[in-house]
Structure 1
Amino acid sequence: MKSIDKKGLLSLAALSATVVLSGCQLFGAADDETTLERVQREGEVTVGFANEQPYAYQTAEGELTGSSVEIARQIMENMGVSEMNGVLTEFASLIPGLQAERFDMVAAGMFITPDRAAADHIQFANPEYTIGQAIAVEAGNPLDLHSYEDIAENDDAIVAVPSGTVEYDFLLDVGVPEGRIVTVPDMPSALAALQAGRADVITATGPSLQSILDTAADDSIERVDDYTQPVIDGEEVINYGATVFRDTDEDFIEAFNQELDNLKKSGELLEIIEEFGFTEEDLPGDATVEDAI
């Protein structure tokens, strides 16, 4: 039996290492793969959502749906990604979860605001819709509330709102004291606070509020019809909602915006959002994320 040449063994080991390294370069190291490349390769994407109808929520059967989800689902299918996985979290935890890479993007109808746009490692895609706020109160509106300003001026008015939402900031901007704002995890919790008498009024975007009221079918609660949108810094508030990404995923954002533009031009965007209570008036037109900040 021939003895093994140690020099030859070392040479063989070196050659093997070279082949392994070459193979890594040939097939692409995981660290070099972008989020878009990964989700297209895997055929699935993970989205963060906050269980708020009609934007993003889970049905009783466990299906993930909502206007923002279905927009993202159609766009991702057009990009060759057929599977969408949802991660449920509180609204205030969506951006931190995205930053921590718990999901690939946030599809939750999130408003584009200067503070959110300035958050570390975050970038919004272009707007998918524009919408205003609404309020609901005890039937008969005993405190005669018709605006955020009315809530601010009535010292007895307690308002419930999901934490992390833009409505919380709007309430502060018009002068509602923090002590009269009750923060809750989500809209069902806000409605429960109103029903239990822990709050006198709740607020959300029009479609979101109407959706929760339709689900509850509670005659003791009513949406205020003669409602006035908040005026901040002399201007009526206009909100744009969009999908959110990490700012390092530039190719993902660019591809998403292109497909969103295609949906607008084909009329498919309106078809998708109409199923969730939106109208043609809620379309964002040619607005970009820069226009919305």
Structure 2
Amino acid sequence: MAPPLEHRERERIPGTGTTRRSLLAGVAAAGVLGAAGCSRVATASTENGGDLLDRLKAAGVVRLGIAGEIPFGYIDRDGDLTGEAPELARVVFERLGVGRVQPVPTEFGSLIPGLNSRQFDVAAAGMYITPERCEQVLFADPDYQMLDSFIVRKGNPKGLHGYQDVVGKKARFATGTGYAEIQYAVDAGYEESDILIVPDQVAGLNAVEAGRVDVFAGTALTTREVVRKSAKAEATEPFKPLVDGEPHVDGGAFAFRLTETRLRDAFNAELRKMKRSGELLRVLKPFGFTEAEMTGLTAKELCGGGVGGSTS
């Protein structure tokens, strides 16, 4: 969910640009629902941590900004809202006294502008927490962490296990539109102009299977899911990319407007309970998440002390 090639980001400019990964299934249905959900939410009080939580309880519904991205938040083939973020939202908001969630589909790059212009109440799209974004929105603590992985030919004939291997072995490299993996490869010394940019992980798999590239880089979750039925390709073991020379782990979270600290804090309190009990993994597991994606990271850590990582 890092250009102008900033680190840890899925689009060219924070808050703008194309989707972090492809829309995949559900785009057509999302467009239909988007037309019905494009009106703005009412102006809220910004004093004392905001009153959005009270207004959501009174209305009985929370409007979720989603990006039509599997497995994070999307409309399925039956026209139903699903994904790790919407399913988690259903559980948390019900416990906060809000019984219904309503999707507002948009492009990933429009989530922050849409949130701040009140087109929806919460961004629920598995958005990565970055210092740049933390200046624009208020993040909950991450509900998952994510490592990188490669799609390679069966047997990994070139022995590619990290971006340094890609550079050292002069492998033909591909990744997705706006993926953070672009910057990770460039940081390792790969020429950006030599990177093959494809729409999504499915196109990346096809490129590897066809021999057009040696490797496609994506998240560990998406690579392992997309190669399940492939007879020609496999996913490498997950690894931490280097950021400023240090191993880095990304974390994805719900985003709120900067004024809504009460809602963010209430959300975090329920999220922590679910982490401690193991319920969070049970909710996310149907979407391909494993114990390896569970995290104790905080928004404050990933924000680097930025506004969006502040706690009450």
Per the shorter chain, which TM-score range? 0.7 to 0.9
Which structure 2 residues correspond to residues 11-26 of structure 1 after superposition, within 5 A?
Answer: none
Residue of structure 2 equivalent to 1:204: 218
What pairs up with 1:209-224 in 2 under 5 angstroms?
Answer: 209-214=223-228, 217-224=229-236
The 1:41–1:114 alpha-carbon spacing in structure 2 relative to 1, beyond 3 Å, is same
User: In structure 2, do the counterparts of structure 1 residues 269 and 132 end up closer, same or farther at CA, with 3 Å as the change threshold?
Assistant: same
Which residue of 1 is the match for residue 254 of structure 2? 243
- Between the aligned partners of 1:160 and 1:281, the Cα distance in structure 2 is 23
Other structure's SS at 1:107 match:
strand
Indicate if the aligned counterparts of 2:153 and 2:234 stay in contact, CA closer than 8 A.
yes
Aligned pair count reads 257
C-alpha distance after superposition, 1:201-260 (max 9, x if no partner): 32222112222333xx232332124x6432333322222221111212222212211121
Distance 1:172 1:42, change over 3 A: farther
Kindly indicate which of the two structures has a greater share of residues assigned to helix.
1
Q: Tell me whether 1:280 sits opposite 2:291 in the alignment.
A: yes
Give the aligned partner of residue 64 of structure 2: 47
Alignment match, 1:270: 281
* Partner Cα separation in structure 2 for residue 98 and residue 191 of structure 1: 33
Q: Distance in 2 between matches of 1:102 and 1:184?
A: 30
| Native 8 Å contact 1:174 1:230 kept in 2 | no
* 1:256 partner amino acid: F
2: CA distance, partners of 1:133 / 1:149: 13
Q: Please say which of residues 168-177 and 244-253 is displaced more in the overlay.
A: 168-177
Distance in 2 separating the partners of 1:162 and 1:54: 17
Aligned residue among 70, 92, 117 for 2:134: 117
Q: Distance in 1 between matches of 2:276 and 2:299?
A: 18
Is the alpha carbon distance of 1:142 and 1:279 closer, same or farther for their aligned partners in structure 2, counting shifts above 3 Å?
A: closer
Conserved 8 A contact 2:182-2:192:
no
Q: 1:196 to 1:244 in 2, by over 3 A?
A: farther
Partners of 1:129 and 1:108 in 2: CA distance? 12
Give runs of aligned pairs for residues 3-18 of structure 1, distance below 5 A.
Answer: none
Partner of 2:25: none
CA 1:79–1:158 in structure 2 vs 1: closer, same or farther (change >3 Å)? same
Percent of counterpart pairs with the same letter? 37
Question: Which residue identity does 2:278 align to in structure 1?
Answer: G
Q: Does residue 93 of the first structure (1) align with residue 105 of the second (2)? A: no
- TM-score between both structures, scaled by the size of structure 1: 0.75
Task: Let me know the Cα RMSD of the aligned residues.
Answer: 2.7
Structure 1: unaligned runs, 5 residues or longer: 1-29
Deviation of 1:132 (Å): 0.9
1:291 match: 301
Structure 2 CA distance for aligned equivalents of residues 204 and 42 of structure 1 = 39
Q: CA deviation at 1:272?
A: 1.3
Alignment of 1:94-173 (within 5 A): 94-118=111-135, 120=136, 122-141=137-156, 143-163=158-178, 165-173=179-187
Correspondence for 2:242 among 231, 244, 247? 231
Unpaired runs of 5+ residues, structure 2, are 1-41, 46-50, 304-312
- Opposite residue 262 of structure 1, the aligned amino acid is K
- CA deviation string 1:92-116 (max 9, x = no partner): 3333332333322222222212222
Counterparts of 1:69-88 in structure 2, within 5 Å, are: 69-88=86-105
**Which letter maps to 1:282?**
E
Q: Using the alignment, how far apart are the partners of 1:90 and 1:183 within structure 2?
A: 18
Q: Which has the larger radius of gyration?
A: 1
